[in-house]
Structure 1
């Protein structure tokens, strides 16, 4: 094995968040990244994308933390309480945890995420001067727009009257909906001075590829955009997955 894999936990607002820290076997201190889950996801994600990516990054010399937001996966809390602001706060606490580890070089920190995790990564990077590199995989540019387009009147009424709606077995609370309408991660990146990689599938039917181009427009020449031909929202083929991980590894080597 070319990496060390440890189960970890840290806390935010008295609730425990669980995950894994992947460390290179070579002497440190190492550059490090936090990897953020998508909507309703966890520290594994479809076709084990996150463990595969974290192990590849660590093998290449970049320590990686993957964890569950509060209310998701193994972490404490309930999903109904999840908000974009709360998940961004979780991400800041994850970076706090990373930079406290003796094996980590606190001057070489990055963050990235899949889908909604990309939105959270962008919001985190814009408000945390420790972040030098940002990678966004099929990122949501504005959750409120997707909510408005995909939510029926019945769901809206349920959220208003009951405080949540059942979305595929997840209790989506009014706080998340309110944050979705008010949060603009693309605009927030005006305060981010680092480099970014944005990767999106050309056949993404969940988050249109146009969202990637919005990030590029905001970041200008500080961002590289890669459109994977034919790829879906979660890059669900071995070829797409390998391409995504290899491109991201090269980006991290160049920018951390």
Structure 2
């Protein structure tokens, strides 16, 4: 089950966190993982890890918000069977204290970055007879999260784009779904807490962990496993869906 042999997979933000776990798992299942990231050190490390385990992978340094870079990278890759739009940034703030500069930055990476890859990859998938797109949304697109105005906006857009792509390309043998994780323990989360809550790291980590009814954050491997399922032939009847992988956050947090 979940065999990806012969598939070419593109994973944005593949150098760390959920993207890294996804690239490693896809390669383990037989895909050629193309790691897209701005951080060359991290991207190289992931590719080396995959190759040492006997898998196939390449890395590409790319700013997802820059369309010419995206177009160049995807044209270099050529055939694309699976696209995972994972790259993204977070932001703390309400509508009245989120600066225009911060709002634009979140939009450029989290929304335009997804658009850039969809705009370029979808025609390639159509030409090749089909494919699978998996977008990373968030529980912030589904429920109100305090002080996450710009971030929630961006993830709501990702969810809407997912539905549009699923509808528009259903007859081109292209499936498109998104997942909505709650808090997942990644190096990004550790850095985010350190930056925004200096001196309170342990307290904030504990607080965020316990905000999930299950009592902890998710792991990157748990998220990658769901992504693998949705991108595999075993999920061939699933499109236009958003999957909550949240430790009970949405339904049980009352």
Whether TM exceeds 0.5 here: the answer is no
Tell me the TM-score normalized by structure 2: 0.43
* Higher strand fraction (1 or 2): 1
The TM-score normalised by the length of structure 1 is 0.43
Task: Give the number of the structure whose residues are more often helix, by fraction.
Answer: 2
